[in-house]
Amino acid sequence: MIDLNEQELKKLLDRLISLRISLEAELENSSPGSDSKNRGKLMRELRAVRRACRKIECGAGFGACERCGEEIGYGALKMDPAKQECWRCDPKREDIDTIIIE
- Report yes or no on 1 lying in a domain: no
Inter-CA distances, 14 with 65, 82, 88, Å = 21, 12, 27
pLDDT in tens, 61-83: 899 999 999 999 899 999 999 99
CA-based nearest residue to 2, from 54, 47, 48, 69 = 69
How many independent structural domains does the chain possess? 1
Within a domain: 19: yes
Residue 31 lies in a domain: yes
List the CATH number of the domain containing 73. Answer: 1.20.120.910
Q: Where would I find the beta strands (DSSP E) of 1-102? A: none
57 located within any domain = yes
pLDDT digits (tens, 9 = 90+) for 8-62: 999 999 999 999 999 999 999 887 676 778 888 999 999 999 999 999 999 888 9
Find the domain containing 14 and state its range: 6-101
Choice between 93 and 79, residue whose per-residue pLDDT is larger: 79
Model pLDDT for residues 41-52, shown as the tens digit of each residue: 999 999 999 999
- 16 part of a folded domain: yes
Cα–Cα distance for residue pair 91/65, rounded to 1 Å: 12
The span from the CA of 32 to the CA of 58, in Å, is 32
